[in-house]
Amino acid sequence: MQDESTWMLSKPHRLTCSQDFVTVYRLGKRCSCSALVLRAYQHRPVSPADPHPTRIGFSISHKVSKQAVVRNRIKRQLRVVCYQLLPNLQPGWDVVVVVRSAAVRCDYWQFLQQLRKLFAEVEILNGY
């Protein structure tokens, strides 16, 4: 069995700076489903010599659940799903996954299905 830390997004694929979150919210495309909202912003066109990796960030409010345990479980599941979808994502995007309250009732497979649908809708997912 793999160590859980191997499922984490590597540092170049994490969206951490608050200014980057603001840019994605202000300029990015938006699509949603029952449990998740996806916001995506494409940087300048990617050149083969200087590929800009796709970076992913998560936003989950206290409105989703007052319990940190529940919010952290949801974030862990979403990180694993994004880790598995990352090889199929086009480079050069900043993505913020916003969690809605309906996510409390979702499991890993529902997150996988919804994120795959949202990435395809924004046209980031290759082959879909």
Token look-up 């480079």 returns 91
Q: Per residue in 17-68, pLDDT tens?
A: 999 999 999 999 999 999 999 999 997 666 666 678 899 999 999 999 999 9
Indicate if the pLDDT at residue 8 is higher than 90. no
Greater model confidence, 128 or 38? 38
Residue spans per domain, the chain: 4-121
Q: CB–CB of 124/90 below 8 Å?
A: yes
What are the structure tokens assigned to 113, written together?
């299905």
Q: Is 125 helix (H, G, I), strand (E, B) or coil?
A: strand
Choosing among 3.40.50.300, 3.30.300.30, 3.90.420.10, 3.30.230.10, the CATH entry for 4-121 is 3.30.230.10
Indicate if the pLDDT at residue 116 is higher than 70. yes
Buried b (16+ CB within 10 A) or exposed e, 96-110: bbbbbeebeebeeeb
Q: Per residue in 82-102, pLDDT tens?
A: 999 999 999 889 999 999 999
| CA-wise closest residue to 120 among 25, 9, 10, 33 | 33
Q: Report in angstroms the alpha-carbon separations of 89 from 32, 33, 71, 122, 123.
A: 18, 19, 25, 11, 9
DSSP E strands in the chain: the ranges are 29-32, 36-42, 55-59, 93-99
